Amino acid sequence: MEREVPCAPAALPPSLAEALEGYRWARDTVGESGGAVYHLRGGAGGPDLYLKHGVGAVADDVTDEMARLVWLSPRIAVPPLIHFVRDAASAWLVTGMLEGETAYQLLERAPGQRGAVVDALADFLRQLHAIPAADCPFVADHRLRLRHARARIDAGLVEEEEFDPARAGWSAEQVWAALGALQPVAPEPVVTHGDYSLDNLLLRDGAVTGCIDLGRVGVADRYQDVAIMWNCLGEFDHSLRDRFLDRYDARPLDEQRLDFHLLLDELF
C-alpha cells in the first residue's frame, strides 16, 4: 500500500491557506484515526510540514493532540508546532517534520540494523517513562480506556476484521470478556505515549529523532507502551521482542499485564 497519495490542497481557513500557499500536498494513508493527515512539501523552499484535520469529535482529538504536543515539547523530542486553528466544528494542526524514517521503514529496509533499532526504541521509551508522572496533566489509564472501549463496542465502531492473528474470528464482545478475566490489573503509572508503535517513532543515524501521533499521551501503566511495541516487533522477528524487553528492563515479564493491554488495544 502506498503510504502517501498526491492530492489537491484541502479547504482551509483563510489564515492557514495563506501560510501554506505553494506547498505540494499528499494524503497520508497510515494511522489517520478518523481524521485526515497530509504531507506538505516544497512551500517556497521551506521545510516539509504535516497537517492533521478533524471534524466533530475528531476535532476534539486533534485539539487534545495539540495540547499534549505543547506539554511534551520541552521534555522529549516531538515535532515542532507550526500552526493550530480551531473553530466550532473543525481543528487543523500543522507541525514540522522530524528527520529520519519510521522505525517500520528502517526495520523493513535494513535487516542488518534491526538489533540497533530495537535498542534505540527501548532507550527512547525509558526516557519517556522517566518523565515525572506527577507533572503530567493528562490521564490515559486503563480505567478510562475501558470506558472508551465499551462505548466503542456499543456504538459498533470496533473493526473486528483488523484484530491480530491470535484473535482472528473473535468478536468485540469476546475481547471484552477476555479483558474482564484478566482483571484486576496492578499498574505502574508513568507518562505513556499510548500508541508506541513502529510507525510513530522516527530514527536517523541509529537514534530516535522523536515520536508522533501524540493524542493518547497521558499517565497510564507502563505496559500500555511495552505491549504495543512488543506486538509490533513480532511482525519482523520474535527474537526482537526479547531484545526489546531486555533492553527496556521489563524482566520478569508480567504476562497478565502484557495480555491485558494487547486485548485492550484491539478495541481502538
* 192-222 pLDDT, tens digit each: 999 999 999 999 999 999 999 999 999 999 9
Tell me the mean pLDDT in the region 83-107.
96
**Inter-residue contact 258 to 247 (CB < 8 Å):** no
Instruction: State how beta strands 4-7 and 24-28 pair.
Output: antiparallel
Candidate from 29-43, 93-107, 143-157, 233-247 with smallest mean pLDDT:
29-43
What is the per-residue pLDDT for 144? 97
Q: Give 139's DSSP letter.
A: B
Q: Of how many residues is the chain composed?
A: 268
Query: Average model confidence (pLDDT) for the chain?
Result: 95
Q: Is residue 46 very low, low, confident or very high in pLDDT (cuts 50, 70, 90)?
A: confident
Q: How open is the CA angle 68-213-260, to the nearest 5 degrees?
A: 95
* Portions of the chain given CATH number 3.30.200.20: 4-96
Q: Is residue 47 very low, low, confident or very high in pLDDT (cuts 50, 70, 90)?
A: confident
Radius of gyration of the chain (CA): 19
What is the third-level CATH fold of 4-96?
Answer: Phosphorylase Kinase; domain 1 (3.30.200)
Instruction: State how beta strands 36-41 and 24-28 pair.
Output: antiparallel
Q: Which residue has the higher pLDDT, 28 or 101?
A: 101
**Inter-residue contact 179 to 264 (CB < 8 Å):** yes
Cα 115 versus chain centre, distance: 22
With cell 519482523, the residue in question is: 236
Instruction: State how beta strands 189-192 and 201-204 pair.
Output: unpaired
d(CA 134, CA 190) in angstroms, rounded, equals: 9
Could you list the active site residues? 195
Tell me the mean pLDDT in the region 30-55.
83
d(CA 182, CA 192) in angstroms, rounded, equals: 21
**20-34 pLDDT, tens per residue?**
988 999 998 875 566
What is the per-residue pLDDT for 122? 98
What is the per-residue pLDDT for 44? 63
Q: How open is the CA angle 39-108-223, to the nearest 5 degrees?
A: 85
At 74, the amino acid letter reads: P
Q: How open is the CA angle 8-9-15, to the nearest 5 degrees?
A: 165
At 242, the amino acid letter reads: D
Is 101-266 a CATH 3.90.1200.10 domain?
A: yes
* Portions of the chain given CATH number 3.90.1200.10: 101-266
Cα separations in angstroms, 28 against 7, 32, 65, 196: 10, 7, 17, 19
What is the per-residue pLDDT for 241? 98
pLDDT higher than 90, residue 93: yes
State what percent of residues in the chain have pLDDT above 90: 93
Tell me the mean pLDDT in the region 59-80.
97
What is the per-residue pLDDT for 4? 87
pLDDT higher than 80, residue 225: yes
